[in-house]
A and B are shown apart, each in its own frame.
Chain A
Amino acid sequence: MLVLTRKVNQSIVIGEGIEVVILEVRGEQVRLGIKAPRDVAVHRKEIFEQIRTENEAATTTKPEDVPE
């Protein structure tokens, strides 16, 4: 993992066309602004993790339990 230190209003550029800006730091919270092309999805990691966990749980579903 690449580790960088930034101050408020400084940015990080990723690849071509993705930019992450530090907008504000308040206590434990960091506010980030993300500029990315329309075809790039940006999400909080927790939601990915929740969906991944649910996908894995879904694979145990059995045909005999399907409601009619």
Chain B
Amino acid sequence: MTTVTKLDTSRFGVIDCATDDVVTFSDGLIGLPDLKEFVIVQHREDSPFRWMQSLDDPAVAFLVVDPGFYAMNYSPEMPESVSSALELTDQVPILVYTICTIPNGNPRGMTLNLAGPVVINAESRRAKQVVLEDESCPVRYNVFADEQSKAA
């Protein structure tokens, strides 16, 4: 039986959260181990962006997006420690999101953290932030950099 609770968030006001929608990070996020439970909220109807809203701290939310939307060749190998921790098999649907950072007032400065993607087992709703030590997966991938250098 799903229960719905109301969460008073700083960005979105009061939102409804169904227990089925909750994504659980048993280790929290990297460096933020106390942020374990989130709900994923649409940004706008037609937008690829979502917000990972924290249930542990209503003032905290992360802007996330499917990394494939901006980084065409992004297909890192899933480390064994992650497949094992999240019980991922070929049959399990997996969601991968990358956390976005936008400097205030500067949308063109948006960067994606390709080194620390969020991997979600879509069935169990358990998740982990993964560490990738790969030069092609930078911590700050500047999405609009190519466009800027072409225009210059």
Contacts and interface: CB of A to CB of B under 8 A. Distances in A.
A67 B116 CA distance: 21
Given A54-B116, A68-B47, A61 B84 contact: no
Contact of A43 (B31, B133, B140): B133
Interface stretch (A4-12, A19-27, A45-53): A45-53
Contact of A41 (B79, B106, B108, B110): B79
Nearest to B61: A59
Contact of A65 (B30, B84, B107, B116): B107
Given A47-B131, A67-B110, A57 B101 contact: yes
B99 A58 contact: yes
A61 B102 contact: yes
A55 B129 CA distance: 10
Contacts of A63: 11-12, 43, 51, 63
Interface residues of B, number: 39
A59 B150 CA distance: 30
B94 to A, nearest CB: 17
B102 A62 contact: yes
Give the most central of B106, B107, B129: most A CB within 10 Å.
Answer: B107
A18 B32 CA distance: 25
Contacts of A44: 133
A25 to B, nearest CB: 23
A32 B107 CA distance: 42
Given A41-B131, A63-B43, 8 more contacts: A40-B81, A47-B139, A48-B31, A51-B115, A52-B31, A57-B101, A60-B104, A65-B107
